[in-house]
Amino acid sequence: MLISAWPSSVAVPKLQQATLGGEIVDQPTLDLVDQFFKPTHLTHVYATSEAGTAIVVSDRRSGFPEEWLQDRQRPVLLRIHEYMLEVKSPFRMRGYVNAAEPAANDGWLPTGDMIATRGGRCYFVGRADQLLNIGGSKVTPEEVEEVLQQGLNSRLPRLWQAQSIMGTLLAADIVPAQPGSFDTVALRRKAEQFLAASQGSQHFRIVTEIPISANGKKRRA
């Protein structure tokens, strides 16, 4: 949002430190910040309200090293259970008022964030409570959005679930990187090269902006 709104008349400063967090920090976003601000240090942080900061990554790559799951010397321990990240932190909260203990499983807190591992790296692919059911297949919106942003000349795409006489369809709102020169037919063909059949968006809608909440996250409802 900051980069897209940056005035051409204002010189871009070279940052000493750039830190990202909140939404999933994907590789296209990291690369964009790196190229635009040229920060000496580029960091993305993963934190939860219940456990505080759990992961800090500074190698200019999305995700985090898989070996961290086995590192018992980390101040905040990490593990994956049924594809969901769980953390065990000495800094976690005791609980909510009149609610059950948030980390009753021997101190392990389920975060609700889904993880995929590949090439020795762990990647955040979306929230468990935001999975879309398309033709019986579970689809994580964030994972498909990263593919659309990275390979299809678009920025800040938003995936959603549409209803039609044929059943539930996967749809995407797209903000073209270059307005006025966007071919939805070519987009659909190119998407098929990146996405599995169950993830292929069957409806694209070109928009000028994606609704953003007050805390900087996409509005999905």
User: For the segment 54-113, what is each residue's pLDDT rounded down to a tens digit?
Assistant: 999 999 999 999 999 999 999 999 999 988 999 999 988 877 787 766 655 788 988 989
**Domain co-membership, 85 together with 52:** yes
Contacts of 130 (CB under 8 A, 6+ apart): 140, 141, 142, 220
What is the pLDDT, as a whole number, of residue 164?
A: 62
pTM, 2 dp: 0.67
Mean confidence (pLDDT) of the chain:
81
% pLDDT > 70, the chain: 71
- The model's confidence at residue 207, banded by pLDDT at 50, 70 and 90, is confident
CA–CA distances in Å: residue 163 to residues 93, 135, 166, 173: 41, 12, 8, 15
Is the predicted pLDDT of residue 201 greater than 60, yes or no? no
**Domain co-membership, 178 together with 115:** no
**Domain co-membership, 154 together with 54:** no
Give the residue from 102, 125, 148 where a domain finishes. Answer: 125
- The model's confidence at residue 14, banded by pLDDT at 50, 70 and 90, is very high
The pairing of beta strand 17-20 with beta strand 41-48: parallel
* DSSP per residue, 89-153: -TT-----TTS--TTTBTTBEEEEEEEEEETTEEEEEEEGGG-EEETTEEE-HHHHHHHHHHHSS
Give the residue from 103, 125, 147 where a domain finishes. Answer: 125
**Inside any domain, residue 34:** yes
Is the predicted pLDDT of residue 6 greater than 80, yes or no? yes
**Count: domains in the chain:** 2
Residue 113 has which token pair?
């964030």
Contact (CB, 8 A) for 34 and 60 = yes
**Domain co-membership, 27 together with 118:** yes
Cα separation, 38 vs 175, in Å, equals: 25
Give the residue from 125, 155, 186 where a domain finishes. Answer: 125
What is the pLDDT, as a whole number, of residue 162?
A: 67
> What is the span of the domain harbouring residue 70?
17-125
What is the pLDDT, as a whole number, of residue 202?
A: 67
**Domain co-membership, 115 together with 137:** no
Instruction: Look up the CATH number of the domain holding residue 166.
Output: 3.30.300.30
Contact (CB, 8 A) for 161 and 131 = no
